[in-house]
Amino acid sequence: QKLQSLFGHDRWPALEDQQLAFVGILVGQYPKLAEAADYRAVDPVREALNNLNRRFQSWRELPESEKPGESAAVRQALLAYAELVDLELTLLHAEAAQQETRRIVLLLILAGLTMLHVLVIGSLLRRWLIRPLERLNRQVEALARGQPPPDPLLTSPLEMASLAEALDRARQSLRNLQQKLIESERMTTIGQFAAQLAHNLRNPLASIRATAQLTARQAGTAPNLPERMTEIIVSVDRMNSWIAGLMEVAHERPTAARAADVTPILAGVASALTPELAAKGLRLTLNMPPGGLVCLYEPATLEHTLIAMVVNAIEASPLGETIELRAERLEPDQPAHTAGADAQSREPSQEVRVGRCRISVIDRGAGLPSDQPERIFEFAYSTKQKGMGLGLGLARQALQRQGGKAGAWNNPDGGATVYVELPAG
């Protein structure tokens, strides 16, 4: 601004010593006025120097009469001009060095960010793509060996989701096929066992029955002998009916069912198990509708099923407890089975069985396995060390052929409930 005020006229003024001295002072003070290596100061300095240069060129073109005679003053002004040029060059070099430093730092930052991005992307790819594919490869190899893993094959996002779902369906299908194959082999073995057992028991039972009949006719006046022989005959007939049921299971023949009151069957079960109940001091209570309950069933199959259920309850009940044998008709608004609210109880189903009967055996024992209480109906499954796991499994299969079903749950106040459902008559 001072230079512009000094040289702002159209014609170059006379260069006085005071003016030239001011230029020298400006050159000496400029590094203090502007920060060192500050590229922003270059443009103002360049503009001032260009203006000064134009003025000096104008001064040189003036006539000699108009030029001042002080050559020393002119030299001093030119020296000041040279010092300003040197200062401008110094600032330009400093600016270039700063720009180069900033460029190098920027390149280093960009290189670091690029490496960081590469590492992050590589880690994410390994987590989301490579590891799931490696896990999938191991599980597919296990599938090829016939060993389907229990967990889902792949849980992967985006476009791999459909592949994961398809492979998981294949895994589930293979596991189901394996379970069906195991069940089929188990059923084949049980069928062969049932056929052999029935064949081996029929002959001695026939001999026992014939001997009991002959003894009853020849008993004469022996007290109570005819009644006892009659009990033997009834027991043999019951065993023969059970053997007939085994034969039907072994040969997979349908069982003919008929509509009849279940009250005599329940009374017969209580009578047949009186010795077992008395041995442990247990009491079996019958809870039936006053007018009876007509259901569609095959007598031998239902009797065998209920006896197996009550025998299991006897073995599970403590001494002196009570076992309840209950028969009821399911109402339209009543769930198919009722369970307790505790964590070990089976949740009640909301499906309603209209026109069906239910017969339950309720005990106060230790209860059933909390995770899967209905496993007691599986073949070769038993909670007893000496049990074979055949009774309830054969009974449920025979009931299913008659349109019935069987189930179980744990009671909230202890013990278990095992039930059968039959079509109402």
Q: Are both 158-253 and 254-423 of the same fold? A: no
* Contact criterion met (CB below 8 Å) for 261 and 268: no
**Contact (CB, 8 A) for 390 and 242:** no
Give the tokens for residue 191.
């069928």
Q: Which of 272, 194, 198 is nearest to 235 (CA)?
A: 272
Q: Which CATH class is domain 158-253?
A: mainly alpha
Burial class from Cβ neighbours inside 10 Å (0-12, 13-18, 19+) for residue 145 reads exposed
At position 402, the amino acid (one-letter code) is Q
What's the fold here for domain 254-423? Heat Shock Protein 90 (3.30.565)
pLDDT, tens digit only, all 425 positions of the chain: 444 444 444 444 444 544 555 555 555 555 555 444 455 555 666 666 666 666 666 666 767 676 655 455 555 666 666 666 667 667 777 777 888 888 899 999 998 888 988 888 877 777 666 777 777 677 667 766 666 666 655 555 555 666 667 767 777 777 777 777 777 766 666 666 666 566 556 656 666 777 677 777 766 656 667 777 777 777 777 777 767 666 665 555 556 778 889 999 999 888 888 888 888 889 999 998 988 889 888 887 788 888 888 888 898 888 989 999 999 988 765 555 544 333 334 444 444 445 789 999 999 988 887 766 676 776 555 555 444 445 677 677 777 777 788 888 888 888 889 999 988 87
End-to-end CA distance of the chain: 118
* Residue 324: per-residue pLDDT: 93
pLDDT of residue 125: 72
For helices 225-251 and 299-316, give the axis angle rounded to 10 degrees: 100
Q: Which residues, including other chains, have CB under 8 Å from residue 321's CB and lie 6 or more apart?
A: 282, 283, 363, 364, 365
pLDDT of residue 386: 46
**Domain map (residue ranges) of the chain:** 2-110, 158-253, 254-423
pLDDT of residue 355: 77
Amino acid 9: pLDDT: 43
Radius of gyration of the chain (CA): 53
Print the SS3 string covering 296-337. EECHHHHHHHHHHHHHHHHHHCCCCCEEEEEEEECCCCCECC
